[in-house]
Amino acid sequence: MSNPSLLILAGDGIGPEVMVEVRKIIDWFGSKRDLTIDVTEDLVGGAAYDKHGTPLHDDTMAHAQEVDAVLLGAVGGPAYDDLDFSVKPERGLLRLRKEMDLFANLRPAQCFDALADFSSLKKELVAGLDIMIVRELTSGSYFGEPRGIFEENGERVGINTQRYTESEIDRVARSAFELARKRDNRLCSVEKANVMESGILWREVVTKIGAEDYPDVELSHMYADNCAMQLVRNPKQFDTIVTDNLFGDILSDCAAMLTGSLGMLPSASLGVPMENGKPKAMYEPVHGSAPDIAGQGKANPCACILSFAMALRYSYDEGAEADRLEAAVEKVLADGVRTADLMQAGAAKPANTSEMGDAVIAALDTSL
């Protein structure tokens, strides 16, 4: 049997910096666990624009469709802010999500014990926190038509459209119900059915699926604004959350801070099953290219490392190795090795990106 394949798209800013650490970990699994992954690397975002004049070359897109999984670092940055909208770095990422049809974006927010002190919330509110946000990723206001900037009555108007079909809601809801079943069996569906027709449809479809096919899962509904508030008031009330593209983007950044840092949050973007039965998949940290710290060795590589752990679990059927990698990250944090984002200003000298990666490798060694 051939080795599993991975396309790495490191992207911009801290993307390539954190990816260096993931490469070390991939090599470790090859040499120490006999788990060899065939890795190819290519450009995305601003880096692709600089070389090809487009944030995602067609050849890269075609390759992404063929591999078992894609691992993406981050895209964007101030150097590209003034580019025409159609070639902005973020368009490359959105094209990958859309053309690979990665409709279910899993954003787990777990608070490691060692970081409970560091959350912006009180320790008792976040200790043991384990939430799974399932964000719809290929529709909604990110892709709905009409969209654009138009002239109307002598002034310009910017338009984006929140649009969801029943089948789009159905498939992401089913993914979320399935995940909830493997967790604490509770699903909270989040929209704004009080003011948006798309929210009314969302609630109807989710309610029907729940009643017909998942009566064992405890289903609740919440308006998105209340959900944002509840996430910082009492986050442990949530188990699995399912929501649309835009609300999911915002709520997952919010949930990130509960865990201590945006630099900790991984994600898996999953699509329909391929011939091998595994879903099409792209793994990406939730954070962006962090222009304020790029090039300084300060980036926390954990989100990207933990995204690779999700690839081990969901694309490579290596759940035990994913557990091993997650435990290694947890051990490093418990041992007090921290990048600057996980320390109070003026505290002990933080680890740099590469020291953090090396500490994870050392923890993996001790796991053998």
Dump the DSSP string for 301-316: -HHHHHHHHHHHHHTS
Does 299 interact with ligand NAD (rule: CB under 6 A)?
A: yes
Among all chains, which residue has been given the structure tokens 């902005």?
88
Alpha helices in 214-301 (DSSP H): 224-233, 245-258
51 is annotated as an active-site residue:
no
**What whole-number distance in Å separates Cα of residue 143 and Cα of residue 124?**
39
> Does residue 291 have a known ligand-binding role?
yes
**What whole-number distance in Å separates Cα of residue 32 and Cα of residue 34?**
6
Does 94 interact with ligand IPM (rule: CB under 6 A)?
A: yes
* Complex with ligand IPM: residue 251 or 340, whichever CB lies closer: 251
Among 8, 37, 222, 262, which residue interacts with ligand NAD (rule: CB under 6 A)? 262
* Smallest distance, ligand NAD to C-beta of residue 246, A: 13
Residue nearest to ligand IPM (CB): 90
Does 188 interact with ligand IPM (rule: CB under 6 A)?
A: no
Does 286 interact with ligand IPM (rule: CB under 6 A)?
A: yes
Please tell me which residue in 42, 49, 68, 192 is annotated as part of the active site: 192
192 is annotated as an active-site residue:
yes
Query: Which residues are CB-neighbours of 235 under 8 A, at least 6 positions away?
Result: 109, 121, 125, 126, 129, 131, 255, 258
Q: State which of positions 267-296 bind ligand NAD (CB under 6 A).
A: 284, 287-293
Dump the DSSP string for 47-103: HHHHHHSSSS-HHHHHHHHHSSEEEEEE---GGGTTS-GGGSHHHHHHHHHHHTT--
For 105, 163, 188, 193, 221, the CA distances from 210, given in Å and listed in that order, are 20, 22, 11, 17, 12
Give the number of other CB atoms < 10 A from CB of residue 244.
Answer: 28
Q: State which of positions 54-113 bind ligand NAD (CB under 6 A).
A: 74-77, 90, 93
* Smallest distance, ligand NAD to C-beta of residue 38, A: 24
Question: Which of the stretches 51-59, 86-94, 143-151, 335-343 binds ligand IPM when contact is defined by CB under 6 A?
Answer: 86-94
**What whole-number distance in Å separates Cα of residue 23 and Cα of residue 18?**
9
223 is annotated as an active-site residue:
no
* Complex with Mn ion: residue 242 or 325, whichever CB lies closer: 242
Among 93, 102, 309, 363, which residue interacts with ligand IPM (rule: CB under 6 A)? 93
By a kind-dependent CB cut-off of 5 to 8 A, residue 299 interacts, out of Mn ion, ligand IPM, ligand NAD, none, with ligand NAD
User: How do 186-191 and 155-161 pair as beta strands?
Assistant: unpaired
**What whole-number distance in Å separates Cα of residue 95 and Cα of residue 101?**
9
* Residue count, binding to ligand NAD (CB under 6 A): 21
> Does residue 88 have a known ligand-binding role?
yes
Does 341 interact with ligand NAD (rule: CB under 6 A)?
A: yes
Which of 324, 292, 288 minimizes the C-alpha distance to 306?
324
Question: Which three-class secondary structure state does DSSP give residue 327?
Answer: helix
Question: Which three-class secondary structure state does DSSP give residue 38?
Answer: strand
Per CB under 5 A, residues contacting Mn ion are 249
* Complex with ligand IPM: residue 55 or 235, whichever CB lies closer: 55
50 is annotated as an active-site residue:
no
For 127, 179, 306, 308, 336, the CA distances from 22, given in Å and listed in that order, are 27, 26, 9, 7, 20
> Does residue 97 have a known ligand-binding role?
yes
142 is annotated as an active-site residue:
yes
Q: State which of positions 7-46 bind ligand NAD (CB under 6 A).
A: 14
List residues with catalytic annotation. Answer: 142, 192, 225, 249, 253
> Which residues are annotated binding-site positions for NAD(+)?
77-90, 288-300
List interacting residues with ligand IPM (CB under 6 A): 76, 90, 93-94, 249, 286, 288
